[in-house]
Amino acid sequence: MKVTIVGAGIAGLATAWALRSRGHQVNVFDQGPIPNPMASSHDEQRYHRFAYGRMSGYSSLALEAGAAWKRVWEALNRDLYIETGVLYLSSKEDEDILRSVDFAEHNGLDTEQIPQQLLKTRYPHFSIAEDARAFLFRQSGILLAERILVSLADWLRESGAVLHPHAKVVSVDHHDGTIETLSGRFQADAIVIAAGPWTPSLVPGSEVLQPARQISLFATGPARLAEAWRRSPALADLTVSGNFYATPPLRGTRIKLVTDLPFYGNCPDDDRHVSKSEIEAVAALAAGSLADFKDYQIVGARSCYYTNTSDRSFFVRRIERSWAVSACSGHGFKFGALAGLAMADAVEGKMNEADTRTKLEARISAPE
Ligand SMILES: Cc1cc2nc3c(=O)[nH]c(=O)nc-3n(C[C@H](O)[C@H](O)[C@H](O)COP(=O)(O)OP(=O)(O)OC[C@H]3O[C@@H](n4cnc5c(N)ncnc54)[C@H](O)[C@@H]3O)c2cc1C
C-alpha cells in the first residue's frame, strides 16, 4: 500500500516504522523540521512507567508498550530506554499507590517500599517529608525521546521511506486519500493523521482533543550530589499539590523538572517563550522536593503541549481512507511504539475502527 503520514512526532514516526517494516510505501509530512522541536514528542527524556493506580488500563497497556519498544530497539540496533526505576512518594491516605503495588505484584514486577530511615542515605538529593511513603518501582525508566525520534527518522530514510520536512498539510480529502501541501498534492491508499495538538485543525470531530501548555525546566545540581543523581531513579513526588517529577541526567541528558501544574495556553502555535513566572512556579515545587535546591542552576526551560481528552483516553477515528490517532494527555510517548503497530494493523485492515479503539482507547479509560 501507499500510505501518507501527517506528523513526524512519535505516533507518526512509529506508525511509519511499523508500515515500512511490512513493506509498504511510506511518505511522512511535517510542517517543521523532522523531528520538530515544537512537537509534543520532542524532549530529552520521557517517563515509561506503569503505576497508574485505579487506571489499571493504562498500567496494562504500559507493560505491553515495553514489548513494542523492544521491537523498535531491534530495528534500530540500539536500546534507547534506561531502566532507572521510578521512586514514588505518596501520602499515607493515597490508596492509588497501593493499587499500583498490587498491580505490580500480580504481574511479577519488582517494587520495594523503602523505610523512612533509609531514604536520606539512599537519596540524599531528594527532600522527603517524614510522613511520606516511598515505593520504588524498578521496571520503569526513561525513554531518550529526542534520540528515538532522530533514530526512527534515520531508519526510515535508510529503508526507503520518504520524509517531507517543512511541508505543512493544509487540507485532507478523506474520501480519495489526497493531502495538499503548499508544494503540491499527494494521493495514497490511506492517510494516518498523527498531528498531536494540531489534530483538531485537520480532523473533523476531533474537538474533544484539548491542547494544554506545559513547562519543563532543565537544571544542573551541586557537585556533591552528582553521584546521587548518577545512580538515581526518576522521581514522582505525589505528596505535593501539583505533583513534581524529576529525571536524572543520564547518557548526555540534563536533570529535568516537570509538574502537573496547569499553565495558561491552549494553542500550540502561540509564543513558546517561557515566562519568569512559569519558571518560578516549577522551581517552587522543585524547592520542596529536591534537597538544597538553592544550589541548583536552571540551565534551560521549554514549553510543550499535552493533548488532553476529558477521560484521558486515546483518540482514534477513521474517516473513509484516513485514520487519526492521538495519545492521551501527558502519557503518550511511552505508548508510541504500540500505537504505531496498532495503526499499521488498522491501515492493513487487520483491525477495524472499533477494535483499534478497544486496543488503544477503551483499555486505557477502563476505570479498574
Ligand atoms: C511536558 C511534557 C511531558 C510529558 N511527559 C511524558 C512522559 O513522561 N511520558 C509519556 O509517555 N508521555 C509524556 N508526554 C506526552 C507525550 O510526549 C505525547 O503524548 C506524545 O509525544 C504525542 O506524540 P504525537 O506524535 O501524537 O504528537 P507530536 O509529537 O506533537 O507530533 C505531531 C507532529 O505533527 C506535526 N504536524 C501538525 N500539524 C501538521 C500539519 N498540518 N502538517 C504537517 N505536520 C503537522 C507537528 O509539527 C508535529 O511534529 C509529555 C508531554 C509533555 C508536553
Q: How confident is the model at residue 365 (pLDDT cuts 50, 70, 90)?
A: low
Phi, psi of 49 (to 5 degrees): -140, 160
Of 10-14, 143-147, 196-200, 357-361, where does mean pLDDT reach its minimum?
A: 357-361
Calculate how far, in angstroms, residue 334's C-alpha sits from the geometric centre of ligand 1.
Answer: 11
Q: Which atom of ligand 1 is nearest to the CA of 201?
A: 41
Helix (H) or strand (E) holding 345: helix 336-347
- Three-class DSSP category at 230: helix
What is the C-alpha separation between 230 and 225, in angstroms, rounded? 9
Is the minimum distance from the CB of 327 to ligand 1 under 6 angstroms?
A: yes
pLDDT above 50 for 366:
no
251-267 residue pLDDT tens: 999 999 999 999 999 99
Residue-level pLDDT at 358: 80
**Spatial CA neighbour of 337 closest among 3, 16, 7:** 16
d(CA 187, CA 45): 35
Given a cut of 60, whether residue 368 has pLDDT beyond it is no
192-220 tens-digit pLDDT: 999 999 999 999 988 889 999 999 999 99
> For the residues 303-330, what does the mean pLDDT come to?
88
SS3 of residue 90 by DSSP:
strand
| 333 Cβ closer than 6 Å to some ligand 1 atom | yes
The reported pLDDT for the residue numbered 362 is 57
Mean pLDDT, to the nearest integer, of 158-174?
98
* Res 367 pLDDT > 50: no
355 has pLDDT over 80: yes
Burial 196-220 (b: 16+ CB within 10 A, else e): bbbbbebbeebeebebbbbbbbbbb
39 lines ligand 1 (CB under 6 A): yes
Q: What is the pLDDT of residue 359?
A: 81
* Largest distance between two CA atoms of the chain: 65
Q: Is the pLDDT of residue 298 over 70?
A: yes
Mean pLDDT for 333-340 is 95
When pLDDT is averaged across residues 108-132 and rounded to a whole number, the result is 95
CA angle (280 as vertex; 276, 281 as ends), nearest 5: 120
Q: Would you call 103 helix, strand, or coil by DSSP? A: helix
DSSP state of 273: P
306 ligand 1 Cβ < 6 A: yes
According to the model, what pLDDT value does residue 357 have? 81
Q: Which domains does the chain have, with CATH numbers?
A: 2-45+145-208+311-361 (3.50.50.60), 62-143+210-308 (3.30.9.10)
Q: What is the pLDDT of residue 125?
A: 98
Torsion over CA: 42, 47, 48, 52 (sign): negative
Q: Is 34 helix (H, G, I), strand (E, B) or coil?
A: coil
